[in-house]
Amino acid sequence: MTSATAAIEARGLGKRYGRRWALADCTLSIPAGHVAGLVGPNGAGKTTLISLATGMLAPTTGTVEVLGGAPAGGPGQLARVGYVAQGTPAYAGLSVADHLRLGAHLNPRWDAALARRRIGQLGLDPRQKAGELSGGQRAQLALTLALAKRPELLILDEPVASLDPVARREFLQVLMNAVAEQELSVVMSSHQVADLERVADYLIVLVGSRVRVEGGVEDLLATHHLLTGPRREASSLPASQQVITESHAGRQSTFLVRSSEPVIDPAWTAEELSLEDLVLAYMGHAAPGPPGIRTLQARP
C-alpha cells in the first residue's frame, strides 16, 4: 500500500451536462491507506466524482488522478482499481459462476480461490442467474467481483443505498473483513453517515462540489466540540476555536467549534459529538457565518 500517492486526487475537476454542472471546480485529495468515506447530500457531486475517478465519464474541466494514474488509462491501471457501481449492476442473464468466469477471463490478477470462497461463504448458488438474486446478494456478487481482481484501491458508490438494514450490515461486514485480509485502500460514498460510521476511518464531506471538511474520523471527533453557555457573539470566542455552526435561543448560545486545543472555559458545557452530528453540521452550513444564512447549494 503506497500512502505517498493519493487514492484520488482532483484538481479543478468539473463535469457539465448541457448547462448544468454536476460537479464544478472540485479540488480534493483522498489519501490512500484508509477506508475513506465520501459523504454529502444528494446532488453534492459524489457519484459524478466517482464516475470521473473510474473513467466512466470524461471531465469537462480539470484533472483527476487515481493512484497516480489516469482513470481507466489502460489495462494495468484498470487492474489496480476495483469498482462497485451504484445499484451494483450485474448481467441479469448470466449465472453467478458466469460472473466469476468473466472476472477470471478479464483480469490477469484474478484470485479464483478467493472468489469461490466468498461465494461459498455467502451461500450463493453458482448456477443461479444474477437477475434472480436479491439486492443484497447482487451487491455481494459485485463486491466479490471487485475484490477478486485483487485491486489496490476499491471504489464503491453508494453500495448499500438500496439494501435493507440486514443486508446493509452484512455487506459492510464483508467489506471490513476484506479490507483486513487484503491490504487495500477504500473510497466509499454514501449519503448515510451511519453506514460510513461503521467502516470509515477517514471522512470527506462534500457539499456543492466543495470539500467542507476532511480528516481522520478519530481526529475529527477529538477536535470538534459542541459548546453551550450564556449568550455571546461568535467573535468573542478565542481565535483557536473555529466556529462551524452557531445558534442562539433566548439567553443561551450553542456553538459547534473546531479546536485542536481543549476547551477550558468553565462557562461552557462541552458535549461530545457523534460523527453524524458533525457531518450534518457541515452539510447544513456551508461555512461559518452569521446565523440564519444557510448555503446548502454553493455551486456557481
Partner 1 sequence: MIWLTWRQFRPQAAAAAIALAVVAIVAAATGPGVASAYVSSGLPDCHASCATDASNFVTGLNRFDLLLYLGSFLLMYLAPALIGIFWGAPLIAREVETGTHRVAWNQSVTRTRWILVKLGLVGLAAVATAGLLSLMVTWWASPINHAAVLSGGQISGFVPRLDAPVFDARGVVPLGYAAFAFALGVTAGVLLRRTLPAMAVTLVAFAVIQVLVPNFVRPHLLPPDQFTAPVASSIGLNVNAGTGQKSIQLAGPFTKPGAWVLSDVIVTPSGAELPNVTMSPSGAELTVLPKACASMLGAAGPDPTGLRDCRSVLAAMHLRQSVTWQPASRFWPLQWTETGLYLVLAAGLGWVSVAQLRRRRAA
Smallest CA-to-CA distance from 37 within 164, 185, 181 is with 185
Q: Is 82 in the site for partner 1 (CB under 8 A)?
A: yes
**Is beta strand 252-258 parallel, antiparallel or unpaired with respect to 224-230?**
antiparallel
Residues 6 or more apart whose Cβ sits within 8 Å of residue 193: 39, 275, 276, 279, 280
Among the candidate windows 100-108, 179-187, 206-214, 289-297, which touches partner 1 by CB under 8 A?
100-108
- Within 60-79, the residues that bind partner 1 by CB under 8 A are 71-72, 74-76, 78-79
Q: How far is the CB of 119 from partner 1 (least distance, A)?
A: 16
Residue-level length of the chain:
300
> Beta partners for 249?
252
For partner 1, the closer of residues 12 and 89 by Cβ is 89
Work out which of 142, 153, 196, 213 binds partner 1, going by CB under 8 A.
Answer: 142
Buried (b) or exposed (e) across 87-97, using 16+ Cβ within 10 A?
A: ebebeeeebbb
- Within 107-126, the residues that bind partner 1 by CB under 8 A are 107-109
Asked whether the beta carbons of 57 and 18 are under 8 A apart, the reply is: no
For partner 1, the closer of residues 74 and 262 by Cβ is 74
Q: Is 92 in the site for partner 1 (CB under 8 A)?
A: yes
Work out which of 118, 149, 210, 224 binds partner 1, going by CB under 8 A.
Answer: 149
C-alpha cell, 256: 459547534
Q: How far is the CB of 190 from partner 1 (least distance, A)?
A: 18
Angle at which helices 165-181 and 135-148 cross, to 10° = 10
Q: x/- contact string, 29-58, with partner 1 (CB under 8 A)?
A: -------------------------xxxxx
Q: What is the CA radius of gyration of the chain?
A: 21
Residues forming the site for partner 1 (CB under 8 A): 54-59, 71-72, 74-76, 78-79, 81-83, 85-87, 89-94, 98, 101-103, 105-109, 142, 145-146, 149
